[in-house]
Chain A
Amino acid sequence: MILIYAESPDGQLKKVALEAVTYGAKLASAMGTTCAALTIGTVADAGSLGKYGAGKVYNIAGEDVDNQNIAKAVADVAEKIGAEVVVMPFTSTGKSIQGRVAAILNAGVVSGVSALPDLSNGFVVRKPVFSGKAFADTKITSEKKVLSLMGNAIPLEELGAAVDVETIDIDLAPCKVKRLSVEKQAGGIPLPEAELVVSGGRGLKGPENWNVLLELAEALGASTACSRPVADMDWRPHHEHVGQTGIAIRPNLYIAMGISGAIQHLAGVNNSKTIVVINKDPEAPFFKAADYGVVGDLFEVVPKLTEAVKRLKA
């Protein structure tokens, strides 16, 4: 049996959770077993996880549950249903609970995996290491295993039909960490989930020039990101900072404008499927990591690109 923790903050199923279910379903069929998904709290449309491959969907009641309780609940359910593998998304929640779940279950754990395990010689799973500069194929030898899955690692697939949600009773301890508030950025897809990302660097010269970038992002329906100095100078919010010390993303399309392509920046984006670089300096190191490049002044090139995108969509 495989258990997927289908993380659903604010009661909404997130794309990373659906991806984890598809991943769990495919792994289950490779291992000749079935998979179940677990949600915690009130979750809209939890039964639809069946469509992405969950044979069963369990729910535990409880709002504003802290991470220690989530980890305990996931481990308890894994024990109850006899799960050999637990899969969860490699998100801010995953990073809070994966070690705990593994410790409770006495399981070997590999985080941020990017592909299905190779089962031909034990249980070997691939993950990016050295900030995207290499991959490590990691063998887990314990009986139980915990995996967390990178966003956009596998395409979503409809593998089944919606199922009924079964409630499980798990006693939750009083929360030791209390949530006081959440400050969410308005609208937009969170960066780790975004398939299209438009990113700006110091070459934009100042926050007042960001419209040129935002208009392209809007035409594409893309999320926005930035290089580290841009966040450090408060031109853009910190959660947009990608790279070695920011967040690592792997969208289908990453468009970088006015970013030189320092190795620490590349570390966060070099797993993107397609990279477009717009820079006026033909020697900018980013061109070496790019699929498509435009050598030119971004203030002239990007508005033209935005118009061309609009023509495509029209």
Chain B
Amino acid sequence: MKLLVCISQTPDTTANISFKDNNTAFNPDGVQFIMNPYDEWYALVRALELKEAVGQGTVTILNVGPATNDVVIRKGLAIGADDAVRIDTEATSANYVAKQIAEYAKDKGYDAIFFGKETIDFNGAIVPSMVAEYLDLPFVSLAQHMDVNGNTATLKRDIEGGVEVLSVDFPFVLSAAKGLAEQRIPNMKGIMMSRRKPLNVVAAVDVPNTVEVVHFETPPAKSAVKLIDPDNMDELVNLLHNEAKVI
């Protein structure tokens, strides 16, 4: 099994979000960066499990980003990926990233390409289906369970108010949701070995950008909470009905 896992770097889930340059750019000062949780906990680990179950193959990590991303890429190697590729450029939009990934992957013969369901910074959920289109591969989004039998995978995916069960033949693209695998913490041996694993840096292809964030805004601070006497729930209902007008 030859597997590719696309990972992105995002601010830590507890990071305070602020902007600079007149609210046109994200301010990275003091922010800790992590591997996007869906990519790390579910996509990468499920790919490793698949390779282990088959008993042979490779898991390659792919990131589109600058050299500062090497720390999270090494973490992926420490968790167990065999090698990594970084396409050396700033990830400026979903289409830009998807084109880079597709261009790299198109003639490598991967059996499956794993993504996270979305990044927790831009919450796009766009890149995976775009790559699937550029490579003309079938795609299953929001996968939360996968069984593999020979050349066929059976996947469960989250849909509104339920779960859908699908089958697809390799090769295919998937995006991972919670449940697909259990998080793995890198151990000392993994961390030592990760330093010697190959991390190849390749040049980006030219892709014009068609979307651009022109302005960021943080939501206005909430006014102070109105506290209601626990013995007076009629008052709460009254406020919800007449003031907030939501019931």
Q: How distant is B76 from chain A, measured CB to nearest CB, in Å?
A: 18
Q: How distant is B190 from chain A, measured CB to nearest CB, in Å?
A: 23
Complex alpha-carbon distance, A290 and B239, angstroms:
14
Q: Which residue of chain A lies nearest to B167 when distances are taken between CB atoms in the complex?
A: A178
A108 CB contacts on chain B under 8 angstroms: 93, 95, 210-211
Question: In the bound complex, do residue A98 and residue B129 qualify as a contact, i.e. CB atoms below 8 Å apart?
Answer: yes
Looking at the complex, which one of B175, B214, B233, B234 makes contact with A124 (CB distance below 8 Å)? Answer: B214
Q: Check A210 for interface membership: any CB of B closer than 8 A.
A: no
Count chain A CB atoms within 10 A of each CB in B140, B160, B165 and give the residue with the most: B160
B121 CB contacts on chain A under 8 angstroms: 129-130
Q: Which residue of chain A lies nearest to B161 when distances are taken between CB atoms in the complex?
A: A190
A142 CB contacts on chain B under 8 angstroms: 210-211
B228 CB contacts on chain A under 8 angstroms: 292-294
Question: In the bound complex, do residue A177 and residue B166 qualify as a contact, i.e. CB atoms below 8 Å apart?
Answer: yes
Question: In the bound complex, do residue A312 and residue B237 qualify as a contact, i.e. CB atoms below 8 Å apart?
Answer: yes
A293 CB contacts on chain B under 8 angstroms: 225-228
User: A161-176 CB contact bits vs B (8 Å, 1 = yes)?
Assistant: 0000000000000001
Q: Check A48 for interface membership: any CB of B closer than 8 A.
A: no
Q: Check B247 for interface membership: any CB of A closer than 8 A.
A: yes
Q: Check A102 for interface membership: any CB of B closer than 8 A.
A: yes
Question: In the bound complex, do residue B168 and residue A178 qualify as a contact, i.e. CB atoms below 8 Å apart?
Answer: yes
Question: In the bound complex, do residue A291 and residue B166 qualify as a contact, i.e. CB atoms below 8 Å apart?
Answer: no
Contact A92 B141, CB 8 Å, known A177-B168, A179-B165, A292-B240: yes
Question: In the bound complex, do residue A253 and residue B244 qualify as a contact, i.e. CB atoms below 8 Å apart?
Answer: yes
Comparing A26-34, A35-43, A270-278, the segment that makes contact with chain B is A270-278
Question: In the bound complex, do residue B160 and residue A192 qualify as a contact, i.e. CB atoms below 8 Å apart?
Answer: yes
Complex alpha-carbon distance, A135 and B218, angstroms:
6
Question: In the bound complex, do residue A98 and residue B11 qualify as a contact, i.e. CB atoms below 8 Å apart?
Answer: no
Q: Which residue of chain A lies nearest to B218 when distances are taken between CB atoms in the complex?
A: A134
Interface size bucket, A side?
Answer: 35 or more
Q: Check A137 for interface membership: any CB of B closer than 8 A.
A: yes
Q: How distant is A79 from chain B, measured CB to nearest CB, in Å?
A: 15
Complex alpha-carbon distance, A127 and B94, angstroms:
15
Complex alpha-carbon distance, A108 and B38, angstroms:
24
User: A287-309 CB contact bits vs B (8 Å, 1 = yes)?
Assistant: 11111111111001100110111
Comparing B54-62, B104-112, B151-159, the segment that makes contact with chain A is B151-159
Question: In the bound complex, do residue A307 and residue B162 qualify as a contact, i.e. CB atoms below 8 Å apart?
Answer: no
Q: How distant is A88 from chain B, measured CB to nearest CB, in Å?
A: 12
Question: In the bound complex, do residue B161 and residue A239 qualify as a contact, i.e. CB atoms below 8 Å apart?
Answer: yes
Contact A71 B246, CB 8 Å, known A99-B98, A109-B95: no
Using a CB–CB cutoff of 8 Å, the interface residues on chain B facing chain A are 11, 13-14, 17, 19, 37-38, 93-95, 98, 117-118, 120-134, 138-142, 144, 154, 157-169, 172, 175, 178-179, 209-219, 222, 225-228, 230-231, 233-234, 236-241, 244, 246-247
4 further interface pairs, Cβ-Cβ under 8 Å (given A274-B244, A305-B233, A311-B234) = A133-B218, A136-B216, A238-B144, A305-B237
Using a CB–CB cutoff of 8 Å, the interface residues on chain A facing chain B are 9, 14, 66-68, 71, 90-93, 95-100, 102-104, 107-112, 124, 127-131, 133-142, 176-185, 188-193, 195-196, 220, 238-239, 241, 244-246, 248, 252-253, 263-264, 267, 270-271, 273-274, 276-277, 287-297, 300-301, 304-305, 307-309, 311-312
26 A-B residue pairs with CB within 8 Å: A67-B139, A90-B125, A91-B160, A92-B142, A99-B127, A99-B129, A99-B133, A103-B95, A103-B129, A103-B134, A108-B211, A111-B125, A128-B123, A131-B123, A133-B17, A136-B216, A138-B214, A176-B168, A177-B168, A185-B162, A191-B161, A264-B14, A292-B227, A294-B233, A300-B230, A307-B233
